[in-house]
Amino acid sequence: MPEPTAPLVRLETDGAVGIIRLDRPPVNAINAAMHAPLRAAAEAAAADPAIRAVVVYGGERAFAAGADIKEMAEQSSAEITTYGRGLIEAIDAVARIPKPVIAAISRYALGGGCELALAADFRVMGEDALIGLPEITLGVVPGGGGTQRLPRLVGVTRAKELIFGGRPVHGDEAVRIGLASRSVPAAEVYETALSWARELAAGPTVALGAAKYAVDAGTEMDLASGLRLEAQVFSSLFGTADQRSGMRSFIESGPGKAGFTGA
């Protein structure tokens, strides 16, 4: 019998942290076979109450060096529409995880890999890593959310510069322009992301998810609507176990000493 093949995407756990692991050697080029398992891993992480923060990781060789161009090159407009829908649904599933999500980026996060990283709340990059949207050099534009998520992070003018030129940036520059949160030596990428995720996982999970929803949904609204949304989210958290223990701890012991159950 042939040896069973390893899954292209799998969900692992490290305590309260879920790790969505991309595993398509050599550089995790995202093909159609990865779309459904990526979406399934994100949905499983979202649904599991034991998972309170998530790291998306592609290993030391690459986060994801882009979409599989050989697979895409000869597709018609109709065919690529179906293909693109699967990719967008997978990336959107990562963005919708109602918990903190950190992309741990080694070496390359290009094209579809960059778009997957943009769906995370935070990006930890190796100093030597490259992130960018080079689709323009192929005669197309980003199709997995890049033209929408990148401007919301770095501003319209900077996003156009990066998209029009197709130029990737290293970790330090990514931090300077607001594309990444942290730039660390290559050997420290995964442990830095995992340590940060553990800190977030120890926090008030329901409130963190509510804050994520308020920020993400609010960016699509005018200010008045966003303020109304914030007020609704704020009031909805009263009566949760974490709200009660957090405020009780503040009254009895001062700030910063509360322990949270995630409920």
Active site residues: 67, 112, 115, 135
173, 253, 260 from 248: Cα distances, Å? 43, 8, 12
Which of 38, 59, 46, 64 shows the shortest CA–CA distance to 100?
46
Specify the DSSP class assigned to residue 5. Answer: P
Residue with tokens 């090159």: 73
d(CA 88, CA 80): 12
What are the backbone angles phi and psi of residue 63, rounded to the nearest 5°? -70, -65
Find how far residue 257's CA is from the centre of its chain.
Answer: 29
Give the whole-angstrom CA distance, residue 70 versus residue 116.
19
Euclidean distance between CA atoms 132 and 148, whole angstroms? 14
